[in-house]
Amino acid sequence: MVGPDGIGKRTFARLLAKTMLCTGSDPSDFSPCCRCEACAQIEASSHPDLIEIARLPDKTGLIMDQLVGEKETRMRSGLCYELRMKPYSGRRKIAIIDDADTIAEEGANALLKTLEEPPPGSLIFLISTSVQRQLPTIRSRCQLARFQPLTAEHLSQLVLRLGFAESEDEARTVAAHANGSIATVAHWVDEDLKSFRQELFGQLVQRPLDFTKLAKAVQGNMESVGSDSQPRRERLKIILDFALQFYRGAMQASLPHEQHGSSEGKELPPHWQTLGSDAFIAAIKRCLEAREHLDRMVSPASLIEAWAADLAVISRA
Ligand SMILES: [Zn+2]
């Protein structure tokens, strides 16, 4: 299952698992009863036939232990082993592997054996943000399902339902910034991040952009989450997403009104109006590239500096 973060891939996989394991309805109806014990166990993540793994918060990726067990019990515990057990419900075993982008080569090789010869009736979902991040050997053994970002309408309904906004108007405004992702909404409404985002936008709007000041602010905010590398990377990812939203917004505002509708009343500062759409596209590309590099474990400090310096060059275009 491939698509951006926060658009419901995991939710969908769990719903499908519920459909398959529900004892109160026929799986072919695709309508789990949500009342039987199996449904309740899936809600509580305690169904013995549903095995779920995801990257642990303090790790940069899925680890071998999760797939094939800890050293002492290697191949006698872990996801691949559990999948081979006889289904407790008499139906099937289902595995959901979230953050499948982060499986290192060693883990992928361990998983490969299971993907090559899956236990009869088993279902294995790999959840990923990019096909390119999967090793070709894994990719060739999977059936690809692409997930699209949520529509603005669906996202604003979800924003309301989850309490991220109090009125329909507010929900629509929040959804408009979020590129179809509820994860992005959560960052957008986060009180701790709000003032930093304002500061960031205030800096990005300067022409020319002061890249040492920008790099310092970004570095400072990233370090504010503690000294562990993984939370820092997560924070930097959020900051890069904010920058992306800034440039996307700027590009929209630079279009003639009839092309984007003037409902938001967003106006570019006069010194930005001379910046062509090429410059905005270059800035968007640069932010996406930085995000990509971050996933490839480049040192965050040098990544921030190079990114800020390039944005400064673009801002002088
Ligand atoms: Zn049920």
Q: Does residue 117 sit within a domain? A: yes
Residue-level pLDDT at 224: 95
Residue 178 has φ and ψ, to the nearest 5°, of: -105, 5
In terms of domains, do 97 and 206 share one? no
pLDDT digits (tens, 9 = 90+) for 259-296: 544 444 456 777 777 788 889 999 999 999 999 888 77
Residue 226: other Cβ atoms inside 10 A: 10
Q: Which residue has the tokens 């419901």?
A: 8
- Residue 146 CA to residue 273 CA, distance in Å, equals 37
Q: Does residue 298 sit within a domain? A: yes
Q: How far is the CA of 41 from the centre of ligand 1 (A)?
A: 9
Q: Does residue 51 sit within a domain? A: yes
123, 139, 155: which is the final residue of a domain? 139
- Residue 307 CA to residue 185 CA, distance in Å, equals 24
Q: Please give the helix or strand (H or E) that residue 124 lies within, else none.
A: strand 123-126
Q: How far is the CA of 125 from the centre of ligand 1 (A)?
A: 20
CA-atom Rg of the chain in angstroms: 22
Q: How many domains does the chain have?
A: 2
Q: Please give the helix or strand (H or E) that residue 95 lies within, else none.
A: strand 94-97
State which residues form the domain around 100: 9-139
Q: How far is the CA of 50 from the centre of ligand 1 (A)?
A: 14
Assign residue 255 a region (left: φ > 0; alpha: ψ between -120 and 50; beta: otherwise).
beta
In terms of domains, do 111 and 222 share one? no
Q: How far is the CA of 89 from the centre of ligand 1 (A)?
A: 12
- Residue 164 CA to residue 166 CA, distance in Å, equals 7
| C-alpha 17: how far from chain center | 21
Q: Does residue 300 sit within a domain? A: yes
Show the DSSP H helices in 91-143 as ranges: 105-116, 136-139
In terms of domains, do 26 and 134 share one? yes
Q: How far is the CA of 198 from the centre of ligand 1 (A)?
A: 46
- Residue 53 CA to residue 59 CA, distance in Å, equals 13
Neighbours of ion ligand 1 (CB under 5 A): 22, 24, 32-33, 36, 39
Q: Does residue 296 sit within a domain? A: yes
In terms of domains, do 117 and 196 share one? no
Q: How far is the CA of 42 from the centre of ligand 1 (A)?
A: 9
Residue-level pLDDT at 266: 59
118, 139, 160: which is the final residue of a domain? 139
Q: How far is the CA of 43 from the centre of ligand 1 (A)?
A: 10
In terms of domains, do 133 and 32 share one? yes
- Ranges in the chain, pLDDT < 70: 257-267
Q: How far is the CA of 144 from the centre of ligand 1 (A)?
A: 27
Q: How far is the CA of 23 from the centre of ligand 1 (A)?
A: 5
Residue-level pLDDT at 258: 52
Query: Residues near 1 by Cβ (< 8 Å), separated by ≥ 6?
Result: 9, 12, 13, 125, 126, 127, 128, 145, 147
Q: Does residue 148 sit within a domain? A: no
Residue-level pLDDT at 265: 44
Q: How far is the CA of 116 from the centre of ligand 1 (A)?
A: 31
In terms of domains, do 208 and 135 share one? no
- Residue 32 CA to residue 25 CA, distance in Å, equals 6
Task: Yes or no: say if 162 and 182 are a contact pair by the CB < 8 Å rule.
Answer: yes
Q: How far is the CA of 12 from the centre of ligand 1 (A)?
A: 16
Q: Does residue 153 sit within a domain? A: no
In terms of domains, do 194 and 108 share one? no
In terms of domains, do 131 and 207 share one? no
Q: Which two tokens stand for residue 79?
A: 């996801």
103, 118, 139: which is the final residue of a domain? 139
Q: How far is the CA of 34 from the centre of ligand 1 (A)?
A: 5
Q: Does residue 177 sit within a domain? A: no
CATH of the domain at 22: 3.40.50.300
Q: How far is the CA of 160 from the centre of ligand 1 (A)?
A: 27
Residue-level pLDDT at 264: 46
In terms of domains, do 213 and 292 share one? yes
